[in-house]
Chains A and B, each alone.
Chain A
């Protein structure tokens, strides 16, 4: 029932062997560059020449494209339509439909924004796919992040898969008591309604019980933590991190200089 509780896919790959902080820097770097670079085509360029190659480099391209098709593209598409239609930009009107009158400017703006969002979500997805959450947690706490904070990050990362597992459990329980969830679309949507309450409430109860359980195992202990797994942190990691920092600084500099 609860087979997969996170997005992590276990593989031997260059990305998997990078230090979690390096990957986090990479993610933040990609996002900053996508949002700050003063050139219109930067985010598009990043998707083609950074995100997709990284997916192959991490041997998770299949999982990445799967997530992109099911989650990232629909969300970005929705955002694009909303912004293209409703952003009140002056300029060349493309068409007029009742109160809607999108301009070329608003469409361009929405397109660029949607691509930036794709870069952001994609780079996080790649991080999740290639990083064992507890490695991320250990590494960050070892570097001084308070463990509670790290736990919040980890739990947030796991919330989607966990909700999904919980939802499956509840659906199994409801069907075992005769709730018919197959059949027409209306019926299926109708079946979602009795799911929402228990999903939220049940998750809250579980969160509390889990909070006590991890407390009993020294979670808030003030001792410096150790880690079962050896976390890689090579010179290459350090070089990549500094390289990324430089790129971000250059991007910010360009932006200031060109504006």
Chain B
């Protein structure tokens, strides 16, 4: 059963001419991990706002079509009820601090206090989530005196603790170090296995390919392609439309043109690339690079 259901969703920001979202149809199942890719201005963040109810409850403008999560339509719901089901980590990590709290620990508890979680459970949830995102040692620091990546981890954790049914993450690792990024993807993957539905905007295609179930490619407010990571991320259409692609894919595409890539499908992940290039005839691997 689809927990997220968008039908013919079209949206225009107030005072603008062009459509930020143009006839989007998207169904996401419970426990599914869907990645959204697209160039700047494609409408990725707008889609996130729509899923999280900020369009139309916060950003006015013209929304048509149907946005449904867990059987409830967003237009008919109140924002404060909606956010209990759908949690959103915003693209800009620098402006997500509540400003009402003095330590990272209290900052993480803020949302839970708001929705009336008992004190003992707040502590359990906050401490568990801090371990997941690797910020236990920041607990007593001021949320304002953190490095960029640390702020982003706090922002992400502040949404994880809320334990929504659907998690919408708008470039949650943009400020994070490479291995930290991989770990966060791993954590999100595990949570999806346990039934959390995840919709994530990302430019880092290698990790999408390793962890996501499905990829949606967005361009100019419309869905250009949709399918398994391997199908979508190796498509020629992506390269032609200014999408980010993995280095494995682009080097294999070049190699293919020179007859050095033998498989039909291009690789997106390291393992696929290793497997494919192993088929390349030529000097034995030991002899290469002399």
Contacts and interface: CB of A to CB of B under 8 A. Distances in A.
Contacts of B83: 215-218, 221
B114 A228 contact: no
Most buried by A among B96, B100, B145, B159: B100
A177 interface: no
Interface string B93-115: 00111111110011001111111
A151 B58 CA distance: 18
Interface in A148-201: 151, 154-155, 158, 162, 165
Given A2-B144, A3-B145, A221-B84, A226 B112 contact: yes
Given A217-B98, A217-B114, A219-B114, A228 B122 contact: yes
Nearest to A205: B95
A217 B95 contact: no
A216 B87 contact: yes
B100 A223 contact: no
B97 to A, nearest CB: 8
Contacts of B97: 210, 213
B69 to A, nearest CB: 14
Dominant SS at the A interface?
loop
A134 B102 contact: yes
B99 A5 contact: yes
A246 interface: no
Contacts of B99: 5, 155, 158, 162, 210
Contacts of A216: 52, 54, 83, 87-88, 90, 159
B248 to A, nearest CB: 35
A155 B99 CA distance: 8
A235 interface: no
A132 interface: yes
B79 A215 contact: yes
A6 B102 CA distance: 9
Interface residues of A, number: 40
Nearest to A10: B102
A234 interface: no
A124 interface: no
B145 A2 contact: yes
Given A162-B99, A212-B54, A221 B116 contact: yes
Contacts of B114: 147, 217-219, 221, 223, 225
Interface in A58-96: none
B96 A213 contact: yes
B102 A132 contact: yes
Given A215-B58, A222-B80, A228 B106 contact: yes
Contact of A213 (B79, B98, B123): B98
A228 B90 CA distance: 25
Interface of A: 1-3, 5-6, 8, 132-134, 137-138, 147, 151, 154-155, 158, 162, 165, 206, 209-210, 212-230
Given A215-B79, A226-B118, A228-B109, 18 more contacts: A1-B144, A3-B144, A5-B99, A134-B100, A134-B110, A147-B114, A155-B99, A213-B95, A213-B96, A214-B100, A216-B52, A216-B83, A218-B80, A219-B114, A222-B80, A224-B116, A225-B114, A228-B123
17 contacts: A132-B102, A134-B101, A134-B102, A206-B95, A209-B90, A212-B90, A213-B98, A214-B100, A216-B83, A219-B114, A221-B80, A222-B80, A225-B113, A226-B116, A226-B117, A227-B119, A228-B122
Interface of B: 52, 54, 58, 79-80, 83-84, 87-88, 90, 92, 95-102, 105-106, 109-119, 122-123, 142, 144-145, 158-159, 162
